[in-house]
């Protein structure tokens, strides 16, 4: 029997296809060496004109970080409670404890309840250098994905969240963040309880066209054995879902 590859032995494409959103962590601390490796990868990301407009605040275990993490935990709980109601997690199949919807709700509930106990929470900051534009995310979110992929390679895990949005003013004051800096994301990081595994998305043929809108090429096929998932929160359908394939 061949042993499964260690995280650092996983190839790039395999890593991309198996980097899940990790929301449960063990208590094991994240080492300085792991953080250095993860931030090195994050800061290799592309950005417009190579401006490198990202700054990161690693919240670990000092008193100020613990206060910032608590603020984030409180907003995580508030925002998840709103989403739980808004996206009707407790209705329909959500009433069955074994349904994917109910399982997702349990996992999110536990995540929100324990948000501040992640060994590290990375506050991702963006140095805005011109008027706000819909395109500016393109110079900050690639570094977040690099960070998560590098975390995977070091045996860690995490997930991009928007929970910082609920405590911006308090976080700015507590952490001395200047007004012109945008708080783009809060990424908890740690050693996963459980593991990574194949991410599930919709079939490739639903995403890729050739030559013109809606023309699916023959080559747009998933590797054998790929399992799929619908887009969006459970039970949510967009106009693009009408008549769409067999996502499960
Ligand atoms: C822009 C963006 C915002 C997100 N916000 C949150 C969030 O606030 N809370 C959370 O738990 N996950 C958040 N996520 C994580 C997504 O839920 C997750 O990436 C998605 O469900 C896919 O998970 P998977 O890769 O494990 O399949 C966010 C992801 C992105 C890209």
Residues (pLDDT < 50) of the chain are: 238-248
pTM to 2 decimals? Answer: 0.92
Residue 180: exposure state from Cβ atoms within 10 A (0-12, 13-18, ≥19):
exposed
Residue to mutate, 75, 142, 162, 197, ligand 1, most ligand atoms under 8 Å from C-beta: 162
Domain 7-190: assigned CATH number: 3.40.109.10
68: nearest Cα among 180, 178, 144, 170? 170
Ligand 1 in reach of 199 Cβ (< 6 A):
yes
Sign of the dihedral defined by the CA atoms of residues 197, 199, 200, 206, in that order: negative
State the DSSP string of 193-227.
Answer: SS------B--GGGT--SSSTT---TT--PPTT--
Chain centroid to Cα 210, Å, comes to: 29
Among 80, 151, 161, 187, which residue has the most ligand 1 atoms within 8 Å of its CB, making it the best to mutate? 161
Residue 235 is predicted with a pLDDT of 64
- Whether 182 is in the pocket of ligand 1, judged by its Cβ within 6 Å, is no
- The full set of domain ranges for the chain reads 7-190, 200-248
Query: Could you give the CA distance from residue 173 to residue 162 in angstroms, rounded to a whole number?
Result: 19
């Amino acid at each position: 029997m061949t042993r499964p590859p260690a995280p650092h032995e996983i190839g790039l494409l395999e890593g991309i296809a198996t980097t899940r959103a990790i929301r449960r962590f063990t208590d094991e601390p994240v080492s300085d060496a792991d953080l250095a490796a993860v931030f090195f990868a994050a800061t290799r990301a592309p950005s417009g004109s190579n401006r490198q407009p990202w700054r990161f605040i690693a919240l670990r275990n000092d008193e100020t970080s613990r206060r910032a993490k608590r603020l984030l935990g409180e907003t995580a709980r508030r925002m998840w409670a709103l989403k739980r109601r808004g996206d009707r997690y407790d209705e329909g199949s959500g009433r069955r404890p074994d349904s994917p919807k109910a399982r997702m709700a349990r996992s999110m509930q536990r995540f929100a309840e324990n948000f501040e106990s992640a060994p590290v929470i990375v506050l991702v900051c963006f140095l805005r250098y011109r008027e706000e534009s819909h395109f500016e995310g393109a110079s900050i979110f690639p570094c977040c994905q690099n960070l998560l992929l590098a975390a995977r390679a070091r045996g860690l895990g995490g997930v991009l969240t928007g929970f910082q949005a609920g405590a911006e003013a308090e976080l700015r004051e507590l952490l001395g963040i200047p007004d012109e800096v945008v708080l783009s994301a809060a990424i908890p990081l740690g050693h996963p309880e459980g593991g990574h595994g194949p991410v599930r998305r919709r079939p490739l043929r639903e995403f890729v066209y050739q030559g013109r809108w809606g023309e699916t090429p023959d080559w747009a096929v998933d590797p054998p054995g790929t399992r799929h998932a619908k887009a969006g929160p459970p039970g949510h359908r967009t106009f693009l879902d009408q008549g769409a394939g067999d996502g499960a």
